[in-house]
Amino acid sequence: MEILVKFKAKSLLLTTFLASMLLASTVINAESLPIPAPPSFDASSYVLMDFGSGAVLADHNSNERVDPASITKIMTAYVVYKSLEAGDITLEDQVEISEYAWRSIGSRMFVEVGDKIKLEHLMLGLIIQSGNDASIALAEHVAGTEQAFADVMNAQAKRIGMKDSHFVNATGLPDTDHYTTAYDIALLSRAMISEFPEEYKRYAQKEYTFNGIKQFNRNRLLWRDSAVDGIKTGHTEAAGYCLAASAIKNDMRLISAVMGTDSDKARTVNSQALLNYGFRYYESHKLYKAGEVLAQQRMWKGESKSIQLGLDKDLFVTIPRGRYEDLKADMDINAEIVAPIQQGDQVGVVKVTLKGENYLEQSLVALQSNPEGGLWRRIVDFFVKLLF
């Protein structure tokens, strides 16, 4: 893969990097294959997304609002994990079961009013057994009431970028004001896996026994495909049968969200078809690591004469299988970088092309702050610049 570095007029290059960057990735030498149309099947909507890049590989009405049913509980768990991360609660907390939680309809973990259940057990009841009683008990423990918890769910949805979702409960029970999209569910699943990789491992657990009752994970893909390690099913009469799934093969992770099929079998088979399609015809590569120094550029009027440049997040590409050698990367750096500059300030872009066509670009940023230098430094740089 060829790597180029471009600088805008008047820029002075101190050192260039990129010589070994993408060569560290494994080059796929397989013959490039034509990409057929993705699977098509009867469902309200669906999407297939690459975890690393966020690229959409298959789509059908993925931005259409639908009833999420118990897939809602991905967000319920996500909010609980955010509270754990913040230190507001712990897995050891004893959560008292309210009558409201106990009276919840639908799937249950079979807790009783007044029981004090370890929060970690309730999380397993939510994730594996899809217990509505566990969901409400957790919501009340985190936010006081389920409605207050729903407000937090909506705030997190906005932060993640879920533009077409709104939650009014922690369970997914039908409500006209409770909706999401296949695309938003894929975004949420991506956030869950990325931010809480250790906690996400619970989604691969096939069964859980509580109160002497063994219940099984409803995600049948966990039994069909060893590459699948999550994530959540949903079903109500209004929503149909839904499944958000994720699988990883050879360091490539895919996420599918299938909404509104007519049976458990359909959501399973069709989700499998989407994942198989993605793994068969696409490959994903991490081209640049966040924080890695890609270039060191001349710094004018700063305390330091140079500044290190890179990315503030990993840069992934998802491409048709066998096309890795057709990729090229350029860095386009601002002509002049003048102090003061803060870490994270944009100073250019990294552009990736595939066979000469623009494929993606990402901001090139300062990896360190460089305040304005003293008077003597500024005077010297003023006259040095006149020579260029």
Active site residues: 70, 73, 130
CB 244 within 8 A of CB 232: yes
Report the C-alpha gap between 303 and 373 in whole angstroms.
4
Give φ, ψ of 197 to 5 degrees: -60, -35
Report the C-alpha gap between 330 and 257 in whole angstroms.
34
Nearest to 333 by CA among 10, 2, 23, 20: 10
The residues pairing with 372 across neighbouring beta strands, listed in sequence order, are 302
Q: How far lies 278's CA from each of 57, 234, 269, 294, in Å?
A: 7, 23, 15, 30
Q: How far lies 218's CA from each of 110, 141, 235, in Å?
A: 17, 26, 10
Q: What is the DSSP string of 110-159?
A: ---TT-EEEHHHHHHHHHTS--HHHHHHHHHHHHSSHHHHHHHHHHHHHH
Look up tokens 């640049």; give the residue.
288
Number of Cβ atoms within 10 Å of the Cβ of 262: 11
Sequence-ordered alpha helix ranges (H) in the chain: 72-86, 99-102, 119-127, 132-143, 146-160, 182-195, 197-200, 221-224, 264-281, 375-386
